[in-house]
Structure 1
Amino acid sequence: MKIIISLLLVIFLISGIQPVSGQPANKKSDPFISAVVKKRIDSMLSNFIDEGKTAGLSALIFEKGKEVYFNAFGYADKEANVRMNRSTIVRIFSMTKPVTGVALMTLYEKGAFQLDDPLAKYAPEFSNMQVYKGVDANGKIMLEPARRPITIRDITRHTAGFPGTDIPALATLVKNADAFNPNNSLTQMAAKLASVPLQFHPGDEWLYGPSVDVQAYLVERISGKPFDQYIQEIILDPLGMIHTHYVVPEKDKKQFAAIYFRSNEGALSRVPDEQASTFNLKNWKLKPGGWGLTSTLDDYTKFAQMLVNKGALGKVRILKPETVALMATNQLPDTLTKRSWLPGKGNVGFGIDFAVRVGPPASREETNGATGEFYWDGAASTLFWVDPVNEITAVLFTQLFPYDQVKLHKTFRDAVYGVYSPSTAKNK
């Protein structure tokens, strides 16, 4: 358990493809996901399995409200000879974050808070935060008061200043605080997290971390309901996401995928179940907002379809269109230049719990997609995106560590959109 939790914290930290621009099809009646594109996706996914890059893959794409692609390759559990299929349940890790963000924004719509409110107004644990300045000649940590309070906007865009593991002195404090021990409640998690100095002043940098777990705590504080109960009642049940849980039910365990680790030499090995599955097979006290949910392709597609439909799925409305638009708008000012590894995602900013594509790729080496899309991924190399330009949602599932070292996401996007070509790109 310690190994998988540590891994989570660290992480919280095609041949034959012709150039395509990622713009809508030439005619309104023409489908974007054409027969040629489907064949490309099939070839790409099957090649990844044949080459031993991962054990199992599945993908589901909707266009204009209709399913236009599904296929699955390889194994959900190779040792048990269980094929990857539509009912496979996977750990979505950080793809939990957008669910948490939607939950928080349902309270925003009710006027429960403003984005620029101080976090401490609702969570006093985060009052009077101190910021790391370095260590003195004796190795003692030096601190200074934060120049301004952490705001709710900060925790939705990862600019709060919560420390990572790259500064040894702070990493030791993070480890000793043990905020993400699964026996902690969200209240205990928040208190322990608030006891650790910030790595930088709020708003000064982008640094991926536990901000979304603090969002879950905020949802709990404001709503007066346990976080998992709130998302069940407000998101999962209304959308019919009946296979999305923190704890996999006994009846569904046979569909629960194994996790595989790929070595530097390319060998796949199964992560022991006692490490890979412990969190999701026991009802731990901690229900994190940043990770922890399990889901199926169809369930998560319902969530993505709600977003591409501007907050509604059929007759069910979760958010207002203007709220979804706000979430899908880059919240990072141009003056914020320290962005950790976010530039590695391509030409993106960050909205409210999503990366937001702000322009076409600068080169064919970058991940392709349509300007205006928003998306996120998970530690076990899962991925989803919402493309409002083409009215597309895509969900890609696998269970592979380390996170996407085989360039699965880029290759899948190239199969969908084509290899980016600046000469033909007309992204909107």
Structure 2
Amino acid sequence: MSNYVFVLDDARRPLSPTSPARARQLLRDGKAAVFRRYPFTIILKRKVPDAEPAPVEVKIDPGSKVTGLALVQGDKVVWGGELTHRGHQIRERLQMRRERRRGRRNKLRYRKPRYRTKAQINNADRKRKKGWLAPSLMHRVETIMTWMDRFRRYAPASSIAMELVRFDLQQMQNPEISGVEYQQGDLAGFEVKEYLLAKWGRECAYCGAEGRPLEVEHIQPRSRGGSNRVSNLTLACEPCNQKKGNRPVEDFLSGRPDLLARIRKQAKQPLRDAASVNSTRWAMFTALKMTGLPVTTGTGGRTKYNRKRMGWAKAHWLDAAAVGNVDALTLRTDKPLLISAKGQGGRQKGVFDKHGQPRRNKAGAAQIRPLKPIHGWRSGDIAKARGLEGRISPRTRGNFELRAAGQKPRSFPPRDFKAIHRNDGYAYQ
């Protein structure tokens, strides 16, 4: 089952998404035309002024590397997607630029001072604004908002549901804050267990066993003064858990000091992915509120609880569909659209030598991606030529290169290419 197809009328007003079979029939009958390839959208050749499409809820499961997207219409999940971010690439490029600039400054004999005197330094001009986020983190918010705008243009979006926090960190750090132990209640157990699975890599902390049921284990037993804080919890397989019992971890690992030190260190460290997601959650929530649509929120523990209750497999887009208060949902698709953020191309007009010095038009250097189109084409456009389909690399002279999935790059003259989807900063699969 493929994703449902977005439908627009002749005035480009969004209608209810339709099934792929119905969309193919409309295209065969000449009643519609392809409006956009990704996400696949058709446009009717007539206006539908009296249409009352069923509202669609946009659900978002933000992640540090991959964000799950889902559209729910009534009790049906009609569209799913997984958006892969490029925050690590942004961080690496900023680091490279920082190193080059530092290298150039160190090699200069004299550098003009930035300010005339120290007394004239205006710290307010260089102070970061309140709510500032690193570019690698802000990228996550901006890409999600880009797709939110697309959903509003192509579907009758009426509300938004997002996973505001992956884990309820305050509740787990101090479970006695409401007088409820972490074992009590279905949702509390899912909240803590999901956090520990992510933190400890889904393996036994003592023997490293993977692919078997894991149990929540107190590093310092409760009977010996241990608490329910996540800094005192880990995961252990049943044999290790039974073997340890209520013994202190120092006695249990008396002959393995390296493992004991590693467990103690890892237990106190926060989950990096959870920290990065939590650092952008309110910026994303505020941006979604600016759309004017009602926004509801949920936690990662509730998301997993809903997904397990409905018997769904682990997937980012299914996690998105399970966000918030969910009674029962029917999947009308099992083939989500895989989206990878690629950027719009660099503005760098020169190449650099090993010393970080710019060398424009250096002999033998790779050609720099141009900012302007070449014969109407840009790098990353998806096109078809002689039965092959893929992304192209235009060249100022000679043939263009076509990179089709699973095949070696091939070159064809520009006249053989037929545009399928113009580069919009994303790759699709």
Range of TM-score over shorter length: under 0.3
TM-score by length of 1: 0.22
Q: Compare the two structures and name the one with the higher strand fraction.
A: 2
TM-score by length of 2: 0.22
